[in-house]
Structure 1
Amino acid sequence: MTTPEITKAVKLLREGRLVAIPTETVYGLGADATNESAVRKIFLAKERPHDHPLIVHIGNIEQLQDWAREIPPAAMKLARAFWPGPLTLILKKQPQVLDIVTAGQNTVGLRIPRHPVARELLEAFGGGIAAPSANRFTRISPTTAHAVAEELGGKVDLILDGGPCEVGLESTIIDMSGETPVILRPGAITAHAIAAELGLPDIASPYAQHETRAPGMHHLHYAPRTRTILIETENIPDMLLALDRDDFPAAFVVNSDVIMPQNDKIRCIKMPHEAAAYAHDLYHTLRKLDHQDFKWIIIETVPQGEAWDAIRDRLLKATGSR
């Protein structure tokens, strides 16, 4: 990324305008987190309800105290272990943090991204950037600059192109504001890795949460416009038989070695067997399928195991648990 582009992005942010930012997870729609009118533009561009809090991206650990208070030692331990990286900490907020950023809650989500373009921008900007995923509410998160342009078009003042996102799924979110750490959204940094760092036997399940404490907790999220369902491997043959003329063409997204027909009615997309590679490809694959004329996107369930938790979470949200 050239310095003139970063300089332009900083200028736009300081003017209260929107800049799309590449991170290692997905592209974010960024605004100055201290500027209420700028943050309001995020909600308007995304058509996002105001009861969904935003994550504030910061440039270094020293800035934590500008946004959070009563930071527990365990939170600092996680920050030092996993930042910069795909981990968001939920902490008690400083009084000056805008209610529009936190959805009126007394906590704020913070992280330091790993992507070099995001790091350079945050260093040059010198403050916090509120940046949810750069897509319309409930839709598929963008993992390329082109996908941001497709999603938001003229609603964003500048898109910084940092290439395809390395991880491809949103950050792990862990609530560190209470006595017990709770994962609100699974991501690339697993519960096991967090528990090991904190010397705990385990971490509370993300699926025990019902209120919108963090981004991505709506029952329908990361979703294609095309009708999309999630089915078990053993149910694929029955699904093939159940489809009628009005259900074609249909796309099947599979990760096992199940044998699938390939013809003008059915397209089979083989996903990687390895979780990290599957996560990297997921949103890009769904976005490509959503731009075609399929009547259905039918996704095979993924394997059990912690490595697949974040993927399973996104697939359940993408299908609205249908």
Structure 2
Amino acid sequence: MTLTGRKKEKIDRLGELAGAPEESGQSLLREAFKRLRRNPAAIAGAIILGLFVLIALFGPFLVPHDPVEPIGVDNGEVRSGQGIIPGISGEHWLGYDHQGRDEFSRMIVGARQTLWVGVVATFFGLAVGSLVGGLAGASYGLGGKWGRRLDGFLMRTVDILLAMPSLLLAVSIVAILGRSLLSVMIAVGMVSVPVFARLLRGSMIAQSSSDYVLAATALGVKRNKIALSHLLPNSLAPVLVQATLTLATAIIEAAGLSFLGLGNPDSAAPEWGVMLADAQGFLDVRPGLAIYPAVGIIITALGFTLLGEAMREALDPKLRK
């Protein structure tokens, strides 16, 4: 084949390639979602959480009995002082509790309060931790000498919170604020503040040395705009994943505080931690009274953990499969 013929063949190939359909790129979130759909752990976690959310939202409207009405005591079936607490029956799927209330109805209604406490506590910790961590990260990465000093002050405050055991810190906050459901939410949220603050600060500092930050600085973009418009949005992914994992911890810690008697002062209100504490005196008569709320707490925390770990693997380029 002559030189002219080879050139013509190459030109024809280039024409064919130019006419071929181009593969469109995908965003990070879309790629992460595709990996999540192929992850069995993510699917299992999503199913568990979906059922839990549905039960928490709509279950209280469908319960067969009033969760605070002592039905068993009124009709004489329950005599806890004599060790008589009937178990599972056709009308009462999980039996009665020690005060003659329908255990199934209390479990369903208690799911809503457990979800509410976990979500509010996590949102509080995420908001406060992101504020502290975002301010510290922007100050360290872009703030110069005074920024480093502000970062040092904020991080030493966070270190003080990290030095305290989480349960002791939560109990101390509830003791100061007083026994209430709101106090439990604030206490559990404060425990997670140092985690979110440290995570966001580290992510923002890592992003501050990126090429796009250098280019924006060279173009004269103001530092606060770089921090808010570029650094913060690109640093939120690991923080949001951590929020999913923290939900599991928040539910367990809230149940622990309620178990210690530091939660809702209204003992008649169904909540899994309170139900677990009330069952301790009747383990020899009805161990199921402790098993049901414990299993509910474990399965719910497992669902959040499975989904959170799968999200972390999907978003972290070092862990992608």
Larger radius of gyration between Structure 1 and Structure 2: 2
Bigger relative contact order, structure 1 or 2, given CA contacts below 8 A and separation 6+?
Answer: 2
Choose between structure 1 and 2: higher strand proportion. Answer: 1
Choose between structure 1 and 2: higher helix proportion. Answer: 2
Q: TM-score range by the shorter chain?
A: under 0.3
